[in-house]
Amino acid sequence: MKIAFLGKGGSGKTTAAAAFTRYVSTKRSLVLAIDADVNVHLKQALGIDFGSDILELGNAYEDIIEYLKGERDDLGDAPMVASTPPCEKSNFVTVSLDDPFIRKYATVRKNIAFLTVGSYDKEDVGSSCYHGKLYSLAALMHHLIDTEDDVVIADTTAGTDNVATSLHLAYDLNLFVVEPTEKSTKVFHDFVSLSPELKEKTYFISNKVRDDRDIDFLKNKLPEDRCLGNMSYSPYLKRFEQGKKDALEEFDKTQVQVWESVLKQLRLCDKDWGKYMEDLKASHSKVSKKWLNPFYSMSVDKQVETNFQYGSADIYSEKT
Ligand SMILES: Nc1ncnc2c1ncn2[C@@H]1O[C@H](COP(=O)(O)OP(=O)(O)O)[C@@H](O)[C@H]1O
Ligand SMILES: [Mg+2]
């Protein structure tokens, strides 16, 4: 299952994604944590030393596309792009330390495999936008065959920008981190009104709630049935950010309940591979008509003609 942490900048997405990763690592043999924000903070927030030798997905777009393309021969002259739906001959990725993609791109410490889209370098200045970095991740996600027990955690970019690419189609659960403020609650509502079809799999946790007035504010602003708990305000986070490493452990002890509830909901989410494929085809057609076809001067969207369905047992068993 794939979960995305969303919300306004500063609401606590990275803090929450990191804390949930640490929690899941106590419950599963492997957890895949992805920094999907170009303002790369997840690595630090995890409080684990991953070293500096980290391959950034955002800088490896061509290699990643080439790998995922595998043996497919249905594309003709058309390029494979991030939203291209996979087919039988594609290379898929599984949440396993034996998976070649994970072996190449993930940095593994204990049972946490970490991937990052990476941030800008000098080359990107004035010539790139962060969607470019996210295309590598979108391509990966559309080829990542996870089971119901797998947990894939993505710390995403701020605001509603997540619906701008096909990436959002991959997530089984969208978890908003919401502070008791107008702006923070508005991002949740904007997301749901932009993509009403995502409403069913969109939940929130509150953060930095300090008193009853905060609780009442959130009750008035957000649908209670979408609430999965509260990440309580904690002075330990500041201590951690001031360099006190064990403060994170103290913080984690105070948040167990919220992560139990999020993990439970994640397990309950319906993973509908058939719908995912349909949505991906529709998204690919849309983006092709809008700019891929004119850009490449060819019909890139003919690729949606594939009859391939996700969830084919063959593909998964082959890889495990
Ligand atoms: N529950 C909390 N208690 C205290 N400070 C928090 C809490 N959640 C987040 N913070 C602090 O708020 C700041 C922004 O959090 P961060 O997770 O980086 O937000 P985002 O990823 O949404 O931009 C950080 O300094 C973080 O330590
Ligand atoms: Mg962040």
**Over the stretch 79-91, which tens digit does the pLDDT of each residue have?**
999 999 999 899 9
Confirm or reject: Cβ of 11 under 6 Å from ligand 1. yes
Rounded distance from Cα 186 to ligand 2 centre (Å): 18
DSSP state of 111: T
Residues 108-114 have a mean pLDDT of: 96
Dist. CA 36–CA 50, nearest whole Å:
17
How wide is the angle at C-alpha 57 spanned by C-alphas 115 and 37, nearest 5°? 65
Ligand 1 atom 11: the closest Cα is on which residue? 12
Ligand 1 atom 14: the closest Cα is on which residue? 10
Rounded distance from Cα 101 to ligand 2 centre (Å): 25
Residues 230-248 have a mean pLDDT of: 94
When mean pLDDT is compared across 69-73, 120-124, 293-297, the lowest value belongs to 120-124
Going through 110-254 in order, the beta strands assigned E by DSSP cover 112-116, 152-155, 173-178, 202-207, 227-231
DSSP state of 93: B
Rounded distance from Cα 198 to ligand 1 centre (Å): 25
Give 57: exposed, middle or buried? Use CB within 10 Å, 0-12, 13-18, 19+.
buried
pLDDT score of 165: 78
pLDDT score of 303: 73
Selected residue with higher pLDDT from 153 and 319? 153
Ligand 1 atom 9: the closest Cα is on which residue? 12
Confirm or reject: Cβ of 157 under 6 Å from ligand 1. no
Does the pLDDT at position 44 exceed 90?
A: yes
> What amino acid occupies position 107?
T
Identify which of 7, 42, 39 has the alpha carbon closest to the alpha carbon of residue 31: 42
Does the pLDDT at position 162 exceed 70?
A: no
Q: How is 183-211 classified by DSSP, letter by letter?
A: HHHHHHHHHHHH-GGGGGGEEEEEES--S
Rounded distance from Cα 287 to ligand 2 centre (Å): 27
Does the pLDDT at position 315 exceed 70?
A: no
Q: Which domains does the chain have, with CATH numbers?
A: 2-319 (3.40.50.300)
Average pLDDT, the chain: 90
Does the pLDDT at position 3 exceed 90?
A: yes
**Crossing angle of helices 182-194 and 212-221, rounded to 10°:** 20
Confirm or reject: Cβ of 237 under 6 Å from ligand 1. yes
Nearest bound ligand to the CA of residue 36: 2
pLDDT score of 185: 97
pLDDT score of 317: 44
Does the pLDDT at position 95 exceed 60?
A: yes
Dihedral, CA of residue 40, residue 54, residue 109 and residue 238, to nearest 10: -30
Identify which of 58, 263, 299, 62 has the alpha carbon closest to the alpha carbon of residue 150: 263
Confirm or reject: Cβ of 206 under 6 Å from ligand 1. no
Confirm or reject: Cβ of 235 under 6 Å from ligand 1. no
Strand 112-116 and strand 173-178: the pairing is: unpaired
Nearest bound ligand to the CA of residue 159: 1
pLDDT-derived band at 313, boundaries 50, 70, 90 = very low
Does the pLDDT at position 130 exceed 70?
A: no
Rounded distance from Cα 181 to ligand 1 centre (Å): 14
- Whole-prediction pTM value? 0.94
Does the pLDDT at position 126 exceed 70?
A: no
Confirm or reject: Cβ of 10 under 6 Å from ligand 1. yes
Ligand 1 atom 10: the closest Cα is on which residue? 12
Helix, strand or coil for residue 163?
A: helix
Helix, strand or coil for residue 175?
A: strand
pLDDT score of 320: 44
Dist. CA 128–CA 115, nearest whole Å:
21
Confirm or reject: Cβ of 142 under 6 Å from ligand 1. no
pLDDT score of 217: 97
Residues 288-315 have a mean pLDDT of: 81
Confirm or reject: Cβ of 14 under 6 Å from ligand 1. yes
